[in-house]
Chains A and B, each alone.
Chain A
């Protein structure tokens, strides 16, 4: 499933802009939401190929958003979800989250270039 459209839910301006810049340069169509509520609404209203989801978000945490989208039933079966966080969760909650996500990345550990390669991999799978 080729990925073309991407939703970024990220509250850090610098990080959000950085991802938007590099993804747009690579030819993706990108929407960026800053708070959790707006992010969830966007994710449910428009069929994105991929969602980049931060966890420590205002209004609604990334974990809650993921739970709503994938917890009971998969509301977004045609969308890949990449959890992107800098928060070091405990093992238990991380494993639970990984179960509902297609990738789980520590932001400080990846550069936009690496992020692009992850998206390409997901796109190919």
Chain B
């Protein structure tokens, strides 16, 4: 055992650097020995010339020359052998095809000249570095067509150059060709163009950057072949492909959540059941008991009705906001008069104003041009604005609903003379769940009404505005396109657009239409 250990030790003490001194010493020794032999031979030659024997002289000269040639060959071979073995070893690990066999470490020759550690090191480095191509790999990669290989994967790969142009996109990448032949990525982000914005930021600040977006669809809901991706983008300044975008197809994972597990729709269904009964019986009992109730009881009864109606309105707001967030919100534009739209919520609004002692005056003359609107959605917006005006005004305050023609639009305004808002609140007003600090304490609400109202108006191609003076009241207004100005467009875009004309020829009635609680 001890012997073996000492053997191992002696083997270990042999370093790579031990080769060179020994090799140099031996080469020098051999070369010097050759010189000495050659010198002695020449001296011998001169001595023989002295004896005037030309045959002996020529014979010796020939022997010296032949001897020198043989010695030079043997010497050179001996000196070059380590170099030859190293080169053979390197050729072997490089994977190049060769007829020569690689040097074997077990050869005693390597033990004598300290070359073994060097060869061992070469073989070790080669086996560690698996990236070193072997003969087969080299042959394969040289004939590999990267783009055709990438076309077989379900993962999208897109390369974008520093001009922002797509220079490569594989088959799975959601890319379409535009009218001018340029390729563009089909991705529907939550906000406008975050990829482009990120790129601008990268170009100004970064050398290398990475970014991930999850659950990004290539099409709007309901479109055929809609896919959902996790998008990974990497940026490298100065690279041939400045941006590499990898799109992992997660459709199977995400789409069940999107379509089947529509939690909010189910929750709304459950909530609406009891509301149906409450509203139904309140309405019926209000008639049946009207003779028996005194005026205070009647007022309290009205509050019950108003509260139940509001509850139902909140559920619609939440459903629509959820649809809008998932890009499911669709508006069906038809030709409608504003008076007709208001008519669907008039009873409810009058009751709300009455229950909270507000004076509601609605001035929507029949002379106004008809607008292109979704009846259900716009009545929801109008209801939200009137309800807010009631909430944020004072007892006995008046609320005016007016409309004017402004270019191709009809502008509807809802004005109250209530508490108003400071300027810093107005900027946040249309954010989801935003409620001003003060209103949180005094007024009930979800903070979702203005958010969805703005979304609905913008889906119609209109705009939402607000003017307010703190302590003096607010005016919320929205614009809707005059039907005549957009009739052609609506007819043309058809069902392909998010907005399409409603076909009412079948004669069915919807409570999104003429009938509404």
Contact = CB atoms under 8 A, between A and B. Distances in A.
Interface of A: 12, 14-15, 18, 21-22, 56, 86-92, 98-99, 101-114, 117-118, 121-122, 125
A112 B510 contact: no
Contacts of A22: 280, 284
A15 B277 contact: yes
The 5 A-B residue pairs with the shortest CB-CB distance in the complex, in nearest-first order: A86-B272, A108-B272, A111-B283, A107-B276, A103-B509
A109 B312 contact: yes
B357 interface: no
B47 interface: no
Nearest to A22: B284
Contact of B516 (A14, A90, A110): A110
A91 B283 contact: no
Contacts of A99: 506
Interface residues of B, number: 36
Interface of B: 221-222, 259, 262, 265-266, 268-269, 272-273, 275-277, 279-284, 287, 312, 315-316, 319, 328, 330, 506-512, 515-517
A91 B324 CA distance: 13
A109 B517 contact: yes
B220 to A, nearest CB: 11
Given A22-B284, A86-B269, A108 B222 contact: no
Provide the main secondary structure of the chain A interface. helix
Nearest to B516: A109
Given A88-B265, A91-B222, A114 B517 contact: yes
A112 B283 contact: yes
B459 to A, nearest CB: 13
B510 A105 contact: yes
Instruction: Find the residue from A18, A101, A103, A106 having the highest chain B CB count within 10 A.
Output: A106
Given A88-B265, A107-B276, A108-B275, A113 B283 contact: yes
B502 to A, nearest CB: 9
Nearest to B305: A111
15 contacts: A18-B277, A86-B272, A86-B276, A87-B265, A89-B265, A90-B222, A98-B506, A98-B510, A104-B509, A106-B512, A108-B275, A109-B316, A111-B282, A114-B516, A125-B507
